[in-house]
């Protein structure tokens, strides 16, 4: 460790590489923590809204609740008309008390709208005196519009309940979809982060190789050189991981601005627990240090079976693949594609609880195959450029791509994975739009919309009331 820190003090480029590696590690840890916390954030959101659903087995009680959904300005208003036979009724956190006849509780966003908008447009929908607000502990998201209107006993036809606490039953479809999105994000995020950190470390690759060679000449053992490599990688990885884990809490307000299910989030929803943040930080540090050690070991064990000059067979010389031959890289790509295809087929057999696992394993294999098989394609492109011979630039570029395909591909590996991720997202968007039950409330003025109607919808009556032009 003393040697590593002494080298950093005397090597400006090494310090820059350590700073870049730490910064990229912090960003990667932060993004991973957000993705890991997405399902828990949705579960916390639904826990706050548990009071809206009746507990199992309730059929008789002193409380009656009628749930309806209204709309104003393209935004949904969740309305709950309540009536009580008397006595104390338990209420959840966020609701000060059960409103009595002629009393109304409004969420902060709805109360602000009622004050700003003329009464004939919105305020008269909630007859009574506003006696309090519905707090954030009873709202799904900060800007949710919720109204609880009290009525005299026996005037509300709704669901009899014992209390207003309810039971937590998260929407399985929403939880499953958000969990799948977070897992896909984790799969396609790990490889670009590793590529970015590795690119920062390659800024001083040549200088580090000369330094390690000098240490070996001075008498350093291979084990000492390996430990020195691990310490140099840990200098940037460990502080970056700690910084990302510490910043996850304050930075959760940025993740909370991403809309989902009709609104944004409370920042506390994405604040990770200390145990989760510590586990991700340790795993990220170990992964980056392990990658540096593996690269050092592979550099020592590169085969010297190809000529020092010239591209070698298929354009992959001794500076190309090391122990990875062309056949091995192509075979890895074929196996990854087969695993992905088998995962898609197995998704129909494994059931709803495990069918995502097979697809994610195949997707991870495809992402790795892009990086593994990339040098082969780079070498082939170099040979094509050399055969064209359209000038000095073609000779230089073709020779560079053909003789050092791995190093040449590293410069574009991050862009390639980013393009793959974007293409995957664009491909999944139509499927997600069909799977996620989404409704933004944007209807034409005067349109009549029915939600959750039991029994047949009388289209003929609707046409007589609103006219055939509005009935679809």
Q: What is the pLDDT of residues 47-84, one digit of tens each?
A: 888 888 776 555 566 788 888 888 888 788 999 999 98
Mean predicted lDDT score pLDDT of the chain: 75
d(CA 63, CA 105): 16
Using left for φ > 0, alpha for ψ between -120 and 50, and beta otherwise, residue 440 falls in alpha
Q: Which helix (H) or strand (E) holds 80?
A: strand 75-84
SS3 percent helix, strand, coil of the chain, rounded to 5, is 60, 10, 30
Within 13 Å, how many C-alpha atoms sit on residue 373's CB side? 16
Among candidates 45, 65, 27, which has minimal Cα distance to 194?
27
Between the alpha carbon of residue 150 and those of residues 3, 81, 162, 334, 417, the distances in Å are: 74, 6, 16, 65, 56
**Confidence at residue 149, expressed as pLDDT on a 0 to 100 scale:** 92
pLDDT at 199: 58
pLDDT at 245: 92
- Which residues, at least 6 apart from 240, have a Cβ–Cβ distance to it below 8 Å? 21, 22, 23, 24, 25, 26, 29, 284
C-alpha 440/C-alpha 438 separation (Å) is 7
Q: What pLDDT score was predicted for residue 133? A: 92
* Bridge partner list, 160: 64
> What is the Cβ-side half-sphere exposure of residue 423, based on CA atoms within 13 angstroms?
7
The answer to whether residue 8 scores a pLDDT higher than 60 is yes
pLDDT at 304 over 50: no
Q: What is the pLDDT of residues 250-259, one digit of tens each?
A: 988 888 888 8
Residue percentage of the chain with pLDDT more than 70: 70
State the SS3 of 39-75. HHHHHHHHHHCHHHCCCCCCCCCCEEEEEEEEEECCE
Domain extent listing, the chain? 1-50+200-304, 54-161
Q: Is the pLDDT of residue 105 over 90?
A: yes
Please report the pLDDT score of residue 470 as a whole number: 47
Residue 404 has pLDDT above 50, yes or no: yes
Contact 32, 255 (CB under 8 A): no
> Over 90: is that where the pLDDT of 236 sits?
no
DSSP readout, 298-342?
A: HHHT----S-SSS--GGG--TTT-TT--HHHHHHHHHHHHHHHHH
Cα(47)–Cα(44) distance, integer angstroms:
5
């Amino acid at each position: 460790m003393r040697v590593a820190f002494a080298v950093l003090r005397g090597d400006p480029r090494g310090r820059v590489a350590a700073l870049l590696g730490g910064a990229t590690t912090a960003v990667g840890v932060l993004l991973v923590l957000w993705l890991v916390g997405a399902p828990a954030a949705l579960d916390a959101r639904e826990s706050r809204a548990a009071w809206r659903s009746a507990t199992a087995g309730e059929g008789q009680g002193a409380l009656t609740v009628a749930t309806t959904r209204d709309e104003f300005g393209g935004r949904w208003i969740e309305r709950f008309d309540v009536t009580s036979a008397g006595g104390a009724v338990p209420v959840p956190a966020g609701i000060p008390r059960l409103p009595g006849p002629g009393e109304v509780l409004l969420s902060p966003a709805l109360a602000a709208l009622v004050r700003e908008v003329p009464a004939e447009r919105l305020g008269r929908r909630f007859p009574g005196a506003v006696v309090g607000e519905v707090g954030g502990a009873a709202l799904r998201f900060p800007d949710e519009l919720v109204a609880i209107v009290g009525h005299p006993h026996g005037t509300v036809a709704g669901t009899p309940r014992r209390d207003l606490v309810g039971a937590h039953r998260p929407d399985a479809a929403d939880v499953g979809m958000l969990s799948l999105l977070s897992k896909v994000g984790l799969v396609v995020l790990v490889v670009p982060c590793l590529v970015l950190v590795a690119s920062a470390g390659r800024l001083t690759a040549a200088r580090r190789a000369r330094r390690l060679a000098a240490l070996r000449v001075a008498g350093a053992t291979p084990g000492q050189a390996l430990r020195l490599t691990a310490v140099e990688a840990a200098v940037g990885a460990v502080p970056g991981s700690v910084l990302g884990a510490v910043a996850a809490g304050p930075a959760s307000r940025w993740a909370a601005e991403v809309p989902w299910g009709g609104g944004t989030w409370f920042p506390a929803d994405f604040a990770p627990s200390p145990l989760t943040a510590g586990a991700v930080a340790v795993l990220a540090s170990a992964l980056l240090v392990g990658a540096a050690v593996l690269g050092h070991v592979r550099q020592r064990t590169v085969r010297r079976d190809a000529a020092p000059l010239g591209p070698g067979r298929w354009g992959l010389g001794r500076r190309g693949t090391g122990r990875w031959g062309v056949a091995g890289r192509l075979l890895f790509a074929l196996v990854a594609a087969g695993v992905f295809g088998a995962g898609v087929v197995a998704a129909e057999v494994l059931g709803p609880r495990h069918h995502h696992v097979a697809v994610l394993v195949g997707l991870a294999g495809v992402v790795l195959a892009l990086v593994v098989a990339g040098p082969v394609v780079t070498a082939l492109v170099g040979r094509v450029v050399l055969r064209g011979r359209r000038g000095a630039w073609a000779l230089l570029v073709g020779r560079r791509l053909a003789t050092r395909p791995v190093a040449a591909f590293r410069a574009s590996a991050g862009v390639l994975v980013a393009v793959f991720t974007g293409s995957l997202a664009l491909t999944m968007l139509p499927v997600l739009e069909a799977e996620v039950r989404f409704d933004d409330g944007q209807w034409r003025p005067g349109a009549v919309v029915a939600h959750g109607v039991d029994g047949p919808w009388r289209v003929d009556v609707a046409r007589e009331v609103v006219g055939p032009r509005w009935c679809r």
